[in-house]
Structure 1
């Protein structure tokens, strides 16, 4: 489904990505973990065309291969973005539009889906996540967890080949995290192709086909969840997991 080779990205003198290689097969869930500032979000934004890498190559099934060593056109970036959809940390819903209007915006305005069809499909998706009765309310009238579920529905409404999640539970109260993760896990079980950035290691254990640990703009280690969480090979991975799983641990 997705093949990325040698992706590089710098912001000024700060090298954020250093030759990232990533393969995602159809129906696979790849989870990225790592400390803040390790480059995880920049990877996602590069896969979606929101960031343009300084080098490397990217190909998403059904579209042109993009070579970032040369100039990439706006239409090529749009073609990449049109085949994927991202769920953001902060929901990013339009505050002046109802839940239904938020969901149908992309299909109607970008993909030119007939409005009646877009509404019917949006209502089916909202019912699936338990929010059909909220179709005519505004985002400020929803809890954070409900807003994030609307964000997921908005992404699904675009019928993307690839779903991207950027720490989808990081802005939520702890008691709301489970509802959102349950929806994402159900999508994984249904065979959606996904790349997920998260600190929720229990989700990574349960849903991921492959876990990648990033630090300093590189992929330090990649393996299946069992290997990653029970016997990581790299010392930096072990340090990170120990700090996440044992936050009150004190060094000798």
Structure 2
């Protein structure tokens, strides 16, 4: 658990008692955790344990059924009616990097990155374009700005997805298994960009199966299983010396597959 002595103002994310069901299946069962500003939190666990649903509740892509979530200065109490403007304000605090890129196929790389700030945030186009070019340079794709997604590798498309999320100037960046759809040789280039963001002090929450990456980049690791956070702490605690037998079993299967 994040240090309880940390002042509330230092938390970028506070989630308390978050619940979510799809039909009769309860996917999240009263999940609570906090994320300190400027740190990376990794969410690990078996498939079907609620990792992606938990991440999506932090952007209200999946609206929780119960609980309270605060991201930066916007808090939603999901036990009460919530208006569309409240949801939009909540969503504006975070950027989401999807597993499958989700780029606009008919728009260039630069247009993909500038779309949100110009259309949604109504910011001046000249300013947004200048910032987008800098972001593409940051993720190693400055020379690709006039190309279309189909002309890029999967790793390059994912890096465009990261630049697109950063272009919104979010307080929080959410990554949903950002390397799971990539060929193995392309994984490193995406993880390298995310590591750089962590070093720069962005607040990140990353759902990942890359355990060694989680160990290197995160300040906090959450291990989820069957809709609850079974174990949480530093990478050294959760990955290096897990207390729960279920955590040990999972890590052993991932780290020692043969």
> Is TM-score (shorter-chain normalized) higher than 0.5?
yes
In structure 1, how many angstroms separate the alpha carbons of the residues matched to 2:245 and 2:65? 30
Aligned match of 1:87: 97
Q: Which runs of 4+ in 1 moved over 4 A?
A: none
Contact 1:54 1:69 in 2 (8 A): yes
Aligned match of 1:175: 185
In structure 2, how many angstroms separate the alpha carbons of the residues matched to 1:53 and 1:227? 29
- What are structure 1's unaligned runs of at least 5 residues? none
In structure 2, how many angstroms separate the alpha carbons of the residues matched to 1:2 and 1:114? 29
Give the deviation of 1:202 after TM superposition.
1.2
Give the deviation of 1:230 after TM superposition.
2.1
In structure 2, how many angstroms separate the alpha carbons of the residues matched to 1:57 and 1:175? 40
Aligned match of 2:38: 27
Residue 97 (structure 2) pairs with residue 74 (structure 1): no
In structure 1, how many angstroms separate the alpha carbons of the residues matched to 2:140 and 2:251? 34
Residue 244 (structure 2) pairs with residue 234 (structure 1): yes
Q: 2:54 aligns with which of 43, 49, 53?
A: 43
SS at match of 1:175: helix
Aligned match of 1:57: 68
In structure 2, how many angstroms separate the alpha carbons of the residues matched to 1:92 and 1:230? 34
Residue 23 (structure 2) pairs with residue 12 (structure 1): yes
SS at match of 1:18: strand
SS at match of 2:49: coil
SS at match of 1:30: strand
SS at match of 2:205: strand
Q: 1:129 aligns with which of 139, 144, 148?
A: 139
Map residues 96-245 of structure 1 onto 2, 5 A cutoff: 96-245=106-255
- Aligned length in residues: 247
SS at match of 1:7: strand
In structure 1, how many angstroms separate the alpha carbons of the residues matched to 2:214 and 2:58? 20
Contact 1:49 1:78 in 2 (8 A): no
In structure 1, how many angstroms separate the alpha carbons of the residues matched to 2:239 and 2:20? 29
SS at match of 1:57: strand
